């Protein structure tokens, strides 16, 4: 009960007027660009390595392709987070945005803008890839038949997104403010990118290891337009990252000292610091 009250107190709707603030629109543009770059490189690696219809067939052949795809995810996500960390906060993932919203780090208005930007960016990245390759069919995310069911895959995705959200909190949110712009510049991209790469190596052959609704959404819109297992890549990451956002105060110290200092500065621009 106290928990729910605490959550409600932390949950921040924000002012709708800020949605047209040039600073916030620029942050959303950064998210759009970074998500497009990430989806372009990650999906491109998958397309390049084999023109199969589904991710699964490619991964089960052997180690070489899985390593290539995992590396592409790790490298591209680390680069995308490094690009946006000092601009929009380095989300590049609707699930991370949800976790940050439920943890009181960003307000609802900003979250809605980020979600729209991330989905648009993912579609743009996939579209560019499709056009440039002359309409190559982008592979569809699907479950390894007979190995994992939809709910098992959703649990896997939730667990991996929970871990990603933990990495986000531990490297971006926990850091005292003066460190945030310096060491964190290197630690957060690495932690998020490397963890995503490791998870693709771990679960890529089971359910694709998406951990990011936008990553699945963009290629699905542009490519196959089959939505059979698509819910897994929304429900799993959103539940996992959102859950971490709710319990974050108990697991990592975002606590009084730092958050108190943040809150005053955060109010006017809806939960994101401005660059000095």
* 31 binding a second copy? (CB under 8 A): no
Sign of torsion over alpha carbons 25, 44, 202, 225: positive
User: Is residue 147 at the binding interface for a second copy, with CB under 8 A as the rule?
Assistant: yes
Q: Which range, of 5-13, 25-33, 107-115, 265-273, touches a second copy by CB under 8 A? A: 25-33
- Tokens 């800020």 map to which residue? 18
Q: Tell me whether residue 19 or residue 258 sits nearer to a second copy (CB atom).
A: 258
Considering only residues 113 to 132 of the shown chain, the ones binding a second copy according to CB under 8 A are: 128-129, 131-132
Q: How far is the CB of 13 from a second copy (least distance, A)?
A: 26
Pull the structure tokens for residue 174. Answer: 């926990």
The footprint of a second copy on residues 184-223 (CB under 8 A) is: 184-187, 189-195, 197-199, 201-206
From 101, 91, 114, select the one nearest 10 (Cα to Cα).
101
- Find the largest Cα–Cα distance for the chain: 56
Q: What is the pattern of x (binds a second copy, CB under 8 A) and - over residues 218-257?
A: --------------------------------xxxx---x
Cα separations in angstroms, 92 against 95, 153, 215, 225? 9, 22, 9, 22
| C-beta of 12 vs 242, nearer to a second copy | 242
Site for a second copy in 78-117 (CB under 8 A): 78-79, 82-87
CB of 15 to a second copy, least distance (A): 21
Output the CA torsion sign for 40, 147, 53, 123. Answer: negative
Nearer to a second copy, 108 or 152 (CB): 152
DSSP state at residue 270: T
**Contact yes or no for 241/99 (Cβ under 8 A):** yes
């Amino acid at each position: 009960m106290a928990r729910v009250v605490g959550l409600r107190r932390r949950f921040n709707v924000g002012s709708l007027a800020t949605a047209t603030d040039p600073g916030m629109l620029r942050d959303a543009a950064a998210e759009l660009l970074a998500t497009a770059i990430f989806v372009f490189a990650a999906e491109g690696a998958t397309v390049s390595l084999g023109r199969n219809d589904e991710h699964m067939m490619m991964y089960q052949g052997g180690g070489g392709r899985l390593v290539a795809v995992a590396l592409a995810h790790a490298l591209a996500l680390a680069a995308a987070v490094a690009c946006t960390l000092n601009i929009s906060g380095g989300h590049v993932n609707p699930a991370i945005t949800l976790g940050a919203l439920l943890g009181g780090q960003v307000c609802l208005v900003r979250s809605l803008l980020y979600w729209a930007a991330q989905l648009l960016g993912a579609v743009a990245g996939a579209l560019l890839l499709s056009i440039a390759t002359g309409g190559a069919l982008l592979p569809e995310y699907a479950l390894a038949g007979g190995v994992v069911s939809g709910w098992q895959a959703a649990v896997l995705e939730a667990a991996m997104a929970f871990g990603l959200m933990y990495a986000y909190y531990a490297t971006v949110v926990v850091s005292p403010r003066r460190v945030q712009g310096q060491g964190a510049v290197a630690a957060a991209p690495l932690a998020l990118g490397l963890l995503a790469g490791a998870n693709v190596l771990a679960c890529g052959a089971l359910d694709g290891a998406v951990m990011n609704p936008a990553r699945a959404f963009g290629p699905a819109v542009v490519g196959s337009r089959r939505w059979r297992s698509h819910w897994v890549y929304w429900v799993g990451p959103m539940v996992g990252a959102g859950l971490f956002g709710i319990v974050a105060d108990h697991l990592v110290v975002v606590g009084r000292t730092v958050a108190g200092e943040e809150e005053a500065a955060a109010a006017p621009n809806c939960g994101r610091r401005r660059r000095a």
